[in-house]
Structure 1
Amino acid sequence: MKMNVLKWEEEFSNKIEELEVPHNWDLHVDMDLVKQKTGLIYTQQTFGSFRCSRCKRSWNSSKVSVLFIINLNKHLRHGTVKMRIFKQGCERCSSPEEMTPTVTSDNIERVVCNLVHKIQRKFYEVNDQYQDQKPKIYGPLEGLHNKERCEACRHGLCEQQVLSCTYEQNREQREPAASAALSVMGVISGVASIALLYFANK
């Protein structure tokens, strides 16, 4: 199954124009793309559907990883984004061909919107309080994510995103707890001060 490259490129171009991003920007799909030493690395996960070319089994995944490497040449006033969407293999077949997912138009729009806002924040210091849109889930998800049949897992991308999400979640959980602890300490300190004044005047 081939990826709808044109849809991704068109959506990117439209969003760049809609948000009035400076300079000229292009998006290119490279299905052999890997992490590089230069450029901003940006990853996302979205929802996609797969169909095995051998046994015709179909399955859905909410862990379809997309890698972007972003570069801007300010001298030439031109930015480029290289993109790779990672494949998955069928769990039923012993030696499956890894398949490219089908991603719905609205999920493509969400991924691209997140990407362009990332470009604005990192390259143009735009602070619009934008929060990344999460993908829409269509259809049932079967069991746990199979890391052995996931191309992105072999490149360490799935685990990287899970750790990132876990850290953010734990930080949000820690902040209220830390605030509560500081409040309790403040009360104890106040009581201790009152006690010292009382006994000093006895």
Structure 2
Amino acid sequence: MKMNEFMWKEEFSNKIEELEVPGNWDLHVDMNLEKQKTGLIYTQQTFGSFRCSRCARSWNSSKVSVLFIINLNKRHGTVKMRIFKQGCERFTRHEEMIPTVTSDNIERVVCNLVHKIRRKFYEVNDQYQDQKPKIYGPLEGLHNKERCEACRHGLCEQQILSCEYEQNREQRESVAPAVLTVMGLVTGVASIALMYFANK
């Protein structure tokens, strides 16, 4: 089963145009993509459905990991992506399946990605909050790390947490000036009040 590259590329092009990102940007799918020393590493988790090619067993997962490596060379931007597979629990030999991701969850992942590009490469502070995936159908127990390709590559929980921390840091930095301004006003009012009562 092959990943639907067209849907991802089309959604990426549409979102780049919609959010008026400068330059020319391309999205390339590479199912062997690894972490690199160059480029911005960005990972997300979404919801996906799997179907075993050997026994036809199907299952859902809210921990479908997607890796992006983003580079900008002058006005030409390139995004490489890899969506990680999972294996069926009925077989000891690793035979991993590519997940099916719904169009609305593809849209959410891509929207988060393009906003990340705007913040990191064009210093756009739009206060955007990453969209969480929509969950369809029941989830079966705990996440099986032994059958998760992303876990074996160290890109499942660890990278997601680091991206969340980075996002939270950006939010704290954007809120800090406003907090300082309010504190300054409160201090000023308190000083005036003290001077007033001291002169009574």
| TM-score (normalizing by structure 1) | 0.79
Distance 2:132 2:76 in 1: 29
Amino acid at match of 1:61: S
Q: Is the 8 A contact 1:51 1:58 kept in 2?
A: yes
- Count of residue correspondences: 168
Q: Deviations over 1:138-194 (max 9, x none)?
A: 0000000000000000111112146448869xx9xxxxxxxxxxxxxxxxxxxxxxx
Cα 1:166–1:85 change in 2 (3 A) is: closer
Q: Deviations over 1:31-66 (max 9, x none)?
A: 000000000000000000000001110000000000
Q: Is the 8 A contact 1:55 1:93 kept in 2?
A: no
1:80 to 78, 81, 86: 78
Q: CA deviation at 1:123?
A: 0.1
Question: Greater Rg, structure 1 or structure 2?
Answer: 1
Task: Give 1:200's aligned residue.
Answer: none
Work out whether 1:117 is the aligned partner of 2:115: yes
Distance 2:39 2:132 in 1: 24
Distance 1:108 1:138 in 2: 14
**C-alpha RMSD of matched pairs (Å):** 1.8
Distance 1:161 1:26 in 2: 23
Distance 1:130 1:24 in 2: 22
Task: Give 2:105's aligned residue.
Answer: 107
Q: Deviations over 1:106-152 (max 9, x none)?
A: 00000000000000000000000000000000000000000000000
Q: Which runs of 5+ in 1 are unaligned?
A: 172-202
Distance 2:92 2:62 in 1: 23
Q: Is the 8 A contact 1:5 1:29 kept in 2?
A: yes
Trace 1:160-179 onto structure 2 (pairs within 5 A): 160-161=158-159, 163-164=161-162
Task: Give 2:143's aligned residue.
Answer: 145
Q: Is the 8 A contact 1:64 1:101 kept in 2?
A: yes
Trace 1:14-163 onto structure 2 (pairs within 5 A): 14-74=14-74, 77-161=75-159, 163=161
Q: Is the 8 A contact 1:41 1:70 kept in 2?
A: yes
Distance 1:164 1:87 in 2: 21
Distance 1:6 1:69 in 2: 19
Distance 2:114 2:83 in 1: 17
Aligned-pair identity (%): 90
SS in 1 for 2:132: coil
Q: Which runs of 5+ in 2 are unaligned?
A: 170-200
Q: Deviations over 1:45-88 (max 9, x none)?
A: 000000000111000000000000000001xx100000000000
Distance 2:144 2:100 in 1: 18
Amino acid at match of 1:118: K
| TM-score (normalizing by structure 2) | 0.80
